[in-house]
Structure 1
Amino acid sequence: KIEKEKRELAKQHGMVRSEVSGGEIAEEMEKERRTFQLTMCEYLIKVNEIKTKKGISLLQNHIKHCSSQFNFFQECLNTMAKLKQFTEKLIPELQSMKIRQDEEKKQLCSLRDQLKMALQLEQKEDPGNKQAGYNMHQLQGNKQYGTEKSGTLFKKSDGLRKVWQKRKCTISNGYMTISHSMLNRPPAKLNLLTCQVKPNMDDKKCFDLVSHNRTYRFLAEDEQDCVAWVSVLSNSKEEALNVAFSKAPGGGESSWEELTRAIIEEVRGMPGNRECCDCSAPDPTWLSTNLGILICIECSGIHREMGVHLSRIQSLSLDKLATSELLLARNISNSVFNDIMEANLPSFSLKPTVHSDMVFRKNFIISKYVDKKYAKRRLAAQCSGLPEAIKDKDIFSLLQAYAENVDLSEPVLAPLQEPGETILHLAVLLSDRTSLHIVDFLVQNSRSLAKQTAEGNTPLHYCCSHNKPECVKLLLKAKANIAITNKAGETALDVARRMRHPLCEELLLQAQSNQFNPNVHVEYEWWLGQDDMYESDEDLDEKVRPQQALAWGHAC
């Protein structure tokens, strides 16, 4: 009754209370049971997969790994079998090579013993040569003989005959000049600062003059004359040494300026330099530092227009030049330059004169320097002979190659140290106080400052590795890249520090801090006031003047 009243009350208020039958409850329970069974099946499947991976798949993968290992070791075994066959063939070859080398060594040792015996016999025949050499103790001369002397001495030749030759000798201003028997040959001039005087203990009339590369033996008229010559040589050397030391502390800059002026005067007097190289105007005062020629002010303007990659112009009178900018001018004159660059000029009417207009000048200069239209040509312009030109310090062969547009930055066929060396690398390796002009020409005209060898070394690396501070100056002056590293990861500065070359290191530190002065002086043998000063008659017979060595065919 109460339940019936509740249903009626709910119906009156709009609330219908539905009844849940037993069939509906059974249906819901069946659905839940099937869902549970499905979940259990999925769970059991996953468990089965895990068991399979732990068991069968693991064993299968292990079998594959073992098979791979077996194949690898089988290949190693086959390779070792082949190697064994090779070593069995190599062993007898190595034994035969060792026998040949032992035989060659035996022959060389026998030859060495024969040469030693021959040298000992020569020393017994000429015992005076034993003492020839430098001595730490300088000989003191008798001051009453002064520092200058002129007369005749007998000089012993270095040839096979070793004959005495009568020569006129002069001592003055720290130099000894030895005249040649033929008047058309220049005398030899020895700097006494690099020589040492040694009296001969066996013959009181003889004395030796030891230079950096040879020993001169002289014979005087008598013992008193020999004492006089030895004293004058010693006194003159001492005087030159005192003068050099007196200039060193305070007069450094003025002495450089004085040297620069002397070089400029020497350059002005070289063949063809009294006229402009392009238009023959008198007294040219403008210098192309990378070509070593003098030009007038009108032609210099056109050279500037061409660009510094072709011609770098400086004034001999207005600019403050350094000795490094005069290296090529001292070794290349207008005449020699035009002998190459104007060799095929069809007519002199094509060449401008003092009165030619600027258009005519410009057309000629462009044809001469850019197109190289009038340059001497060879049948085969190859650079295979350029390494020989570097060794011979032959600037004219390099100029000929430049005129023929030979690529001076190509690697040479026979490098001295590392594959990939250019001729600039060779020039740096072989450089000394007499060959800086070769380095300077290549620095300014070869476009190989950044060229690297197979080991990654640039010419600047070579400078620092072989302690060439003068070459470092020329490279830094041309703005060589100091940040390039070789295969070892070293810059040129790193190489200089590792090799303990303080001069190179100091120059590179200046460049690194932008304090390097490109207006730099270089230590170079300028040979002012003389053209070819060879030191012996034999050298004069063997050496050829540079003008005669101009032939490019011989160099290549």
Structure 2
Amino acid sequence: MDSLLDFEECVKDSPDFRLKLELFEADVSVLETQLDKVMKLCSKMVEAGQAYSAANQLFLSGLAELSMLHKKDDVITNCLNQFNQGLQEMVSFHTMLFDQTHRAISQQLTNLCTQFLPQLVETRRAFVQIGEDVEAAALKSAQVSRHKAADAERASHLLLATRKCYQHFALDYCLQLNTFKTQQRVDILNSMFSFVHAQFTFFHQGSDLLRDLEPSMRTMAAQVSQSSADCAAQRKELENKHLLVQQRDASGEPAVGPSPGSDAIISGYLFKRSRRKSKTWKRCWFSIRDNQLVYRKSHKDVSLVLFQDLRLCAVKPLENIDRRFCFELLSVQKCCALQTDSELLKLSWFVALQSSIDFAYRDTRLSQPKEPPPPPCGGDPSPGPPAQRPPALGVALRGPGNQRCCDCGEEEPRWASINLGVTMCIECSGIHRSLGVHLSKVRSLTLDSWEAEQLKLLCVLGNNVMNRIYEARCSEEGRVKPRADSLRAEKETWIKEKYVEKRFVQKSVSDVAQRRLYRAAVAGELVDMAAALAQGADVNRSIGEEEGRTALIGAAVGESLSACEFLLLNGANVNHRDLRGQGALHTAATAGHTGQVCLLLKRGANQYAADERGQDPLAIAVETAHADIVTLLRMARMNEEMRDSEGVFGATGDDETFQDIFRDFSDMASHDPERLSRRQFSRGDEEEEEEEEVDEEG
């Protein structure tokens, strides 16, 4: 979350606050320009889309007229009617898409601009005007003679009233800027989410790419919801802070004391008399820090040191001049006359300067860094509590050789390839990403979420095992592995030779490697599966002597969740079917492997696909009397139907009951598979299930 304007600094009107305020105003101006540009481009895009839809509609009218010329030809008529109906739906989808795009971009962003920006302009105009009045009142008050009591009192009252009014305007202006800063992030994110959601809905049925984007869309929906909640909470907090500061400090008197987050003892505005022109006074921002008195002529200027060492200075009241509230700071080399806005401020600065001088005399080591105390008996300092590693990182580093990068050996890697089962440093992870996700799927061990089966692959395989496979012929090739301090180009060459060219893998005949992959998948031997893939086995190639099954279907015959996950991560087609029309989900349902059914459903397996007997996985589970799988498949089907009826993303996402049951089945399959294998249908339950299916079909 971006930093916001501090109300305390607003009341003090410090140079830091002025700088940050200018940056805020510049950001608002740039954002307004960009929003206007985006809305104009959106309007042009929608106009072009509407023209495209109109042209499509004319084309469809021509097709309808064409179909009328062939009324006697049923084949052509039916074909043209089907085409016309499908294209009519596409035109409707286009129209809906353009309408949703206009609402998502133009209307939402227009609402953001009209809600905040006009009010910001008016408030800023008043803020600038009253700021100029404060400067004029301060200057007039400073110039009143001490001998004109009535004029001095009127000037002081005018300055106090003007400053109080200014502080109220400044606080309101800061609140509006902070509110706009927090709200625009949510509105822009929500606008973009609505736009992408419209695109996602349009392309969902025909685009595998946008189907892969579905988890990201769910995450974005959650982020919008979370951001809205955070925005509401932050707006409430800002209003409370605004009210608190307004009640406590917006009294018209300038605040004294150190600024929040600053090491200054005291800071504030003072008038400084010119040493060359005694009648010239300049209002500057002064502060005491590190035994020095520093000042800034304006918020755009850097700090200047007025007195280098306050130990060599003395402070005393200045009574022999016409101006009020003055004091003098003297050193061996120079003296400087300063003026505050009130007697109270004069006393505060006088005490702060004198205290700083006294403290500097008492402790001459104040400005030197303090050294830590030596450890007892000359030993090393006792270490603090060990740093808590993220859960995924702690599990991954327990794998064989995972404590060092698999490609360069750097310690404490924080990245991993989920399909290769290796850990790596951040530099090697960037090279892995450049290879493409078909070769290496890279994730962070500290930032990304990990599933249990993916972490299990890192522990079972790991760097030692995979390096024995991918670096088996490294010495034969006379190749030297790069080190952590090697150049990036050297690491990049090594990684491409290792994983793309597979230059150091033990050679094998393609058919041998393919059969080895299938046997290892059935047996759940991850190491043999990894070796077979490295030797060139195709993860989606079917085995003729095994009724056309792929390795994934073979893994479904066995009971290894890790084998299924490993194949899916390496590109296995979850919906490939063998010669009998059965896929991995059919096979897992037949064998009663609930954990694999959970995994395959999560990875997009088609639960409606029928085999050569016309049976889908649910019918197979009913026939084989696997109660848990029947329940799971029925809940998944019910959840999908509910989701389709509510849109791609409902208001609350997937059904929570289904998610809870899905999670329970997955945990039971991972931790207590024997319990699942003992659950069977009775004959009465089977007959009841068949009756329910008949009722549903009716």
Normalising by the residue count of structure 2, what TM-score does the alignment of the two structures yield?
A: 0.34
Which is higher, the Rg of structure 1 or of structure 2? Answer: 1
Tell which has more relative contact order, 1 or 2 (C-alpha 8 A, sep 6+): 1
